[in-house]
Amino acid sequence: MNECEVRPFDYATSVVDYLPTVSPELKQVTSPFTAVILAGTRCNNDPVASVFGHQYKALVPIYGQAMISRVVGALRQSPYIKRIVIVFDCPVSLYESCPELKEYSGTIDIKVVPCAKSICESLTSALQAADDMWPYLVTTADHALLTPAMVDEFCQKALWLKSDMAVGLVEKKYLDREHPQSKRTYLPFKGSKLSGANLFAFMGPTSFKAIRFWQSIEKERKKPWKLFSAFGWSNLAALICKRCTVDEAFERASNRLGVDARAIRLPFAEAAIDVDSRSDFLQVEKILALRDTLHITIQT
């Protein structure tokens, strides 16, 4: 069994120094988000679900609670989230495995819609099912380490940017410092390497252009060079030579897509750690146990 080192995350020393401080006025939310959770379909060969004898990865318990329930719990505690749409094949299995969701529905509207043939098609159908209640925050059911603080930070920045869409990213330096043994996929930019945080903001109908483009390349999402080549060979060359900062790369992408897309750097190492493998599962479970211990210590 692989042992993953887990260190406590020092939130007090994590400072966002690349975007302006969020003003007090912005915290008075006037346009709360509809959250969409992509929970996946039944799969017999998922590396996490199959190990633990489950048909649905989203329902695999991690530190005593189904992964998707942890995500819903984090979202419902954020003042920026007014509604949650879950993209999932079987509502019956969902509520049987996560009875607490019925309790949550007393404080926030929760809707379940079926999966489509692909991630992008599922996302499109979810947005349509949400009756154009823009803006949308999109995340995944395997984001078991998601916290209300991460959600608040991301939503605050997305509102401040006033772009068509935004993507959450975490710099490698945070993961190296807090969880050096965590294996992530990094996008190499000039001056930094960043990993995705599975947090996406779609601020208005124009962002559908980006969804349609992503649909054409979503099978290559783990291969940075193929992603960049889809944006043009000059962008691929810029990736290889690390000539672009992340903001310059997003500017290039915006020009290609015809939408204003921005990067949001998050100071939370754990925002980049999802559960894609058995080793991820073991690491995340240890982090959750550590959080629980720290919480009990603080309370006493």
| Rounded Cα–Cα distance for residues 267 and 150 (Å) | 9
Q: What is the helix (H) or strand (E) element at residue 65, kind and residue range?
A: strand 65-66
Residue 19, pLDDT above cutoff 50? no
Q: Where are the domains positioned within the chain?
A: 31-299
Residue 220, pLDDT above cutoff 60? no
Span 134-140, mean pLDDT? 96
pLDDT in tens, 154-178: 999 999 999 999 999 999 999 999 9
pLDDT score, position 132? 76
- Kindly state the tokens that stand for 128: 């349509």
- Kindly state the tokens that stand for 268: 């939370």
Residue 23, pLDDT above cutoff 80? no
Task: Let me know: does 259 contact 161? Beta carbons within 8 Å.
Answer: no
| Rounded Cα–Cα distance for residues 52 and 64 (Å) | 13
If pLDDT is split at 50, 70 and 90, which confidence band does 222 have?
Answer: low
What crossing angle do the helices spanning 208-217 and 119-129 adopt, rounded to 10°? 160
pLDDT score, position 125? 85
Span 25-52, mean pLDDT? 77
Residue 288, pLDDT above cutoff 70? yes
Half-sphere exposure of 251 (CA within 13 A, CB side): 6
| Rounded Cα–Cα distance for residues 267 and 170 (Å) | 7
The Cα-based distances of 200 to 27, 96, 139, 196 in angstroms read 19, 28, 7, 10
Span 192-205, mean pLDDT? 95
Least confident of 79-88, 141-150, 203-212, 259-268: 203-212
CATH code, residues 31-299: 3.90.550.10
Span 87-104, mean pLDDT? 93
| Rounded Cα–Cα distance for residues 276 and 287 (Å) | 15
210 vs 287, higher pLDDT: 287
Torsion of CA 27, 158, 88, 84, to 10 degrees: 20
26 vs 74, higher pLDDT: 74
| Rounded Cα–Cα distance for residues 125 and 143 (Å) | 21
1-5, 199-203, 219-223 — most confident range:
199-203
Query: Could you count the other beta carbons within 10 Å of the beta carbon of residue 241?
Result: 10
Residue bearing tokens 């599962």: 281
If pLDDT is split at 50, 70 and 90, which confidence band does 111 have?
Answer: very high
pLDDT score, position 7? 36
Sign of the C-alpha dihedral computed for residues 275, 90, 82 and 250 taken in this order: positive
